[in-house]
């Protein structure tokens, strides 16, 4: 597993979706790290800096902020489910020794999980699902949850949906 990702790993529209929600996703709560953990306040779109009692907007200045994955993994996986067209309340991801990435999504109305799998070396969907050709490249660099999110963002239809959502947020 790689280290916690800098927020700059995520394109701005995807970062807005992760932190601020939209399109049916609620806003996220949790700590962001900038040498120490600071709470993200989605109601104000800010991170409170406990060292100096100043406010930082990670959406404007992402250079040094990190997402501590032990706190944010569940949120990143729920955003991935949303990107895949599911409204999941819980997700789990398993990687079988670099061979296969398995993603399970549990929805409120379902009796069982929706399961999608990809070959980590090729990005090919195993069974139902969409191929993710950029998954192997992202997987070499990032934690599997981050790699999946970035690979989904590389799919043109998904990227267009997120960019439209970000444009709506900028107008509103």
Helices 144-153, 69-83: axis angle to 10 degrees equals 30
Q: Strand, coil or helix: what is 79?
A: helix
User: Any idea what the Cα angle at residue 78 is, between residues 75 and 81, rounded to 5°?
Assistant: 155
State pLDDT tens for residues 56-112. 888 888 888 899 998 999 999 999 999 998 887 888 888 876 688 999 888 776 667
Banded model confidence at residue 1, pLDDT cuts 50, 70, 90: very low
Q: Is residue 2 part of a domain?
A: no
In which domain, by residue range, is 99 found?
Answer: 7-171
Banded model confidence at residue 49, pLDDT cuts 50, 70, 90: confident
Of the chain, the percentage scoring pLDDT greater than 70 comes to 93
Provide the 10 A C-beta neighbour count for residue 152.
23
**Residue of higher predicted confidence among 62 and 151:** 151
Q: Is residue 40 part of a domain?
A: yes
Q: How many separate domains does the chain show?
A: 1
Q: Strand, coil or helix: what is 94?
A: strand
């Amino acid at each position: 597993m790689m280290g916690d990702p800098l927020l700059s790993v995520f394109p701005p529209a995807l970062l807005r979706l992760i932190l601020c929600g939209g399109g049916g996703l609620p806003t996220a709560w949790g700590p962001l790290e900038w040498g120490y953990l600071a709470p993200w306040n989605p109601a104000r779109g800010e991170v409170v800096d406990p060292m100096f009692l100043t406010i930082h907007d990670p959406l404007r200045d992402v250079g040094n902020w990190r997402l501590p994955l032990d706190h944010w993994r569940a949120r990143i996986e729920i955003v991935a489910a949303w990107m895949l067209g599911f409204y999941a309340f819980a997700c789990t991801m398993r990687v079988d020794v670099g061979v296969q990435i398995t993603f399970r999504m549990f929805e409120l109305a379902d009796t069982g999980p929706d399961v999608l799998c990809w070959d980590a070396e090729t990005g090919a969907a195993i069974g139902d699902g969409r191929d993710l050709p950029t998954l192997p490249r992202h997987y070499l660099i990032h934690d599997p949850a981050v790699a999946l999110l970035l690979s989904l963002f590389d799919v043109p239809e998904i990227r267009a949906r997120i960019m439209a959502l970000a444009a709506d947020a900028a107008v509103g």
